[in-house]
Chains A and B, each alone.
Chain A
Amino acid sequence: MLHVLVSGLATGSIYALVALSLVIVYNATRTVNFAQGEMFMVSTFVAWSVVRAGAPLGVAVVAALVGAAALGFVIERLVIRRAIAATHWDVLIITLGVSLVLKAGAGIAWTNDEFPFPSYFGDRPIAVGPVRVAPVSLGIVGASIVLMGALYALLRFTRFGRAMRAVAQNQTAASLMGISVPRVFSAAWMLAAVVGAVAGVLIAPVVFLSTKMGLIVINGFIAAVLGGFGSMPGAILGGMLLGVLENLAPLYLPTSIRYSVPFLVLIAILVLRPSGLVGRVERRKV
């Protein structure tokens, strides 16, 4: 029971990181990036290629993060920036197109097979108080918490973080205060891609690496909606909750329920409380 909870938190951390990367882009640009999952998958494949070329794992992880930032920069600059005047609906469709291109591109570059990914942690379970847990679960949770802390510090205490929060609040006012809004857009895409890449290299040793990995973006969305789309603490809470629910449900219900859990959660939250657990209702004007 308790070790299920821990592995639920590990899965949940990954969902939380994906949800965070969606929320970072959403807060800065008010658009939802459907390609986030595929960007995460491509950066993980970059890490894998570097490992296969003989480099140590640490170098591979750095390469994945740099690659992710570059990918985020290029997509924002070449595609999304051109549609800056389009509606959110249009941008959603554009990111859907980008995600198809990335998935197919990865399939051509790395084939659609599944590959094992080297692990950073040992296999021997560690005893934490009364429970024995897999080191990889603890590693994922620990690394995620460190990253979330770093993200908080970045947004809270740096000039750049303040600029991002200002743009999230009011684009016009932010640009009148001398903040370069396009630069913030660009930075948000890169930051989100890096956060996603961390989630990718963390989860890759647990699930096999394949071009299907990008589908995790759906669970990331659900986590973000569960918490309240646009709220960063909400994204973390939603991710953790979803991970735990997904791991606990098969204990009490038929095992086949596991893959339906995210969707049942989504439907429940949309019917009961569409603004999410900690979200606020947005007021819109005509």
Chain B
Amino acid sequence: MRRTGLVGLVALVTIVWPFVVPPYVVFLTTLMLVNGIVAIGLNLLTGYTNQLSFGHAGFVAIGAYTGALVTIHAPALPVPFTLLLAGLVTALVGLALGIPCLRLEGLYLAMATLAFGFVVLEAILNLDWLTRGADGLRVPPPSLVTIPLTSEIARYFLVAAVTVVMVAAATSLVRTRTGRAFLAIRESEIAAQASGVDVARYKTVAFVVSAFYTGVAGGLFAFVVGFLSPDGFDVFVSVDYLVMVIVGGLASVPGSLVGAAVVTLLNDWLARFQNYRPLIFGGVLVAVMLFMPGGIASAAAARRRR
């Protein structure tokens, strides 16, 4: 009963929110939700399955460019299909990356995903007939059936609706057999294999699902910022996503959202102090790992139990 009440309250706040806060805050909230979807995607791979990725900005870039190019070349396509396409293309790339990565673990996987991120950036720069390279790509507003979504508030509701679906799907997924297989792989690959978990298959699934989430978020990102250029997806952006997941809490869906909110706000506040931003992020990363290893989510859980 209390749960229904809480959900109702969240829904009410979500609907009223964009009408009561200034437009810039609406934009920031939208960006938070988009980052939240990326963080959930990364958390499914890194937090649940313990496969470290330093290349998620590459997946975001693929989703974003797919979303933008589809909107430019097929403006009539309703936005849910555009996003689905962005997710599927990215998932396909995730599959192509995930299969060779099955042989790798720990550091080697981190290096391979790092290399993947660089390769994606190089590809965007060199395919300039398609992506306009370093000049950047302007993204037209998406359209819902025939109505173009031009206002900040319209984009907010689009992103909020997608977030609700993605959060619900992730929360369910981690409770299924697949989610338990992810956690078993995290605890010990050898023990999971010995207990009958098909490690290769579930690691591939984790890669594909994670890439799908990140691709959809990338598509949304393209619409929210309206302009894409390769330097917006460098390795430091991948690090930002890792910070979100670690600060929010590994293997926690709500934690991912909280971590994304914290990092997005910090990024916004520190925009004027570019030099100090990595200093603070690095410090936060070290402090969380040393003093609060489970992130905000597990600290909150520990409080509740007390």
Pick from A94, A225, A259: contact of B286, CB under 8 Å: A94
Contact residues, A98-154 vs B (CB, 8 A): 98-105, 107-108, 112
CB contacts (< 8 Å) of B50 on chain A: these are 89
A78-111 contact mask (Cβ, 8 Å, vs B): 1 or 0: 0100110010111011101111111111011000
Q: Is the CB of B52 within 8 A of A271?
A: no
Task: List the interface of chain B (C-beta within 8 A of A).
Answer: 50, 52, 100, 103-104, 106-108, 110-112, 114-115, 118-119, 122, 126, 188, 190-191, 239, 242, 246, 275-279, 281-286, 289-290, 293
Q: Are A107 and B275 in contact (CB under 8 A)?
A: yes
Taking a contact as CB atoms under 8 Å apart, the answer to whether B285 and A100 are in contact is yes
Candidates B100, B106, B276, B282; contact of A99 at CB < 8 Å = B282
> With a CB–CB cut-off of 8 A, which chain A residues contact B114?
218
Residue A255, interface by CB 8 Å: no
A79 with B279: CB separation less than 8 A: no
When C-beta atoms are compared, the residue in chain A nearest to B118 turns out to be: A263
Residues A92 and B278 in contact, CB atoms below 8 Å apart = no
Bound complex: CA of A182 vs CA of B114, how far in Å?
A: 31
For this complex, 24 residue pairs linking A to B, each with C-beta atoms less than 8 Å apart, are A79-B286, A83-B289, A83-B290, A89-B106, A92-B52, A93-B285, A97-B281, A97-B284, A98-B282, A99-B282, A100-B281, A101-B278, A101-B279, A101-B283, A108-B275, A225-B111, A229-B108, A260-B122, A267-B112, A270-B104, A270-B112, A274-B104, A274-B108, A286-B188
Contacts of A96 in B (CB 8 A): 239, 242, 282, 285
> Contact at B278–A103, with CB atoms within 8 Å?
yes
Interface residues on A, range: 35 or more
Check if A229 sits within 8 Å of B289, measured CB to CB: no
- Per a CB cutoff under 8 Å, which of A86, A99, A104, A270 touches B108? A270
* A108 to B276 Cα, complex, angstroms: 8
A216 at the interface (CB under 8 A from B): no
Give Cα distance in the complex from A79 to B286, angstroms. 8
Cβ distance A227 to chain B, nearest Cβ, rounded Å: 14
Q: How far is the CA of A218 from the CA of B283 in the complex (A)?
A: 22
Interface contacts beyond A93-B242, A93-B246, A271-B100: sample of 10 additional A-B pairs, CB < 8 Å, sorted by A: A90-B289, A93-B289, A103-B278, A104-B276, A218-B114, A256-B126, A259-B122, A262-B115, A267-B112, A270-B104
Residues of A within 8 A of B108 (CB): 225, 229, 270, 274
Which of A79, A103, A262, A286 is within 8 Å of B190, CB to CB? A286
Bound-complex Cα distance A93 to B54 (A): 11
Interface of A is mostly: helix
Whether a CB of chain B sits under 8 angstroms from the CB of A221 is yes
Taking CB atoms, residues of chain A closer than 8 Å to B112 are 266-267, 270
Residue among A97, A99, A263 facing the most chain B CB atoms (10 A cut-off): A97
Instruction: Select one of B115, B275, B279, B289 contacting A86, CB under 8 A.
Output: B289
Query: Provided the pairs A89-B50, A270-B100 are in contact, do residues A100 and B115 lie with their beta carbons within 8 angstroms?
Result: no
Chain A minimum-CB-distance residue to B282: A100
Closest A residue to B284 using CB positions = A97
Residue of B nearest to A222 (CB): B111
A284 at the interface (CB under 8 A from B): yes
| Contact for A97 among B115, B119, B282, CB less than 8 A | B282
A213 to B210, CA, bound (A): 32
A104 touches B277 (CB 8 A): yes
Across the interface, which residues of A come within 8 angstroms of B115, CB to CB?
262-263, 266-267
Known: A99-B282, A101-B282. A266 touches B111 (CB 8 A): yes
Query: Please, which residues of chain B bring their CB within 8 A of the CB of A262?
Result: 115
Contact A263 B282 (CB under 8 A): no
Question: Are the CB atoms of A104 and B246 closer together than 8 Å?
Answer: no
Nearest-neighbour CB distance to chain A for B262, whole angstroms, equals 15
In contact, A82 and B290 (Cβ under 8 angstroms):
yes
Instruction: Say whether B285 contacts A97, CB under 8 Å.
Output: yes
A209 adjacent to chain B (CB < 8 Å): no
With contacts A86-B293, A260-B119, A286-B188 taken as known, whether A97 is within 8 angstroms of B286 at the C-beta atoms is yes
Q: For the complex, is A32 an interface residue (Cβ under 8 Å from B)?
A: yes
A265 CB to closest chain B CB, in angstroms? Answer: 9
Looking at B188, B289, B293, which has the most chain A CB atoms within 10 Å of its CB? B289
| CA A229 to CA B104, docked complex, whole Å | 13
Question: Bound state CA distance, A93 and B286, in angstroms?
Answer: 8
A105 CB to closest chain B CB (Å) equals 6
Distance of A84 from chain B, by nearest CB (Å): 11
Chain B residues positioned under 8 Å from A267 (CB to CB) = 100, 112, 115
Closest chain-A Cβ to B34's Cβ sits at a distance in Å of: 23
Least Cβ–Cβ distance between B148 and chain A, in angstroms: 38
Is the pair A270, B275 in contact by a Cβ cutoff of 8 Å?
A: no
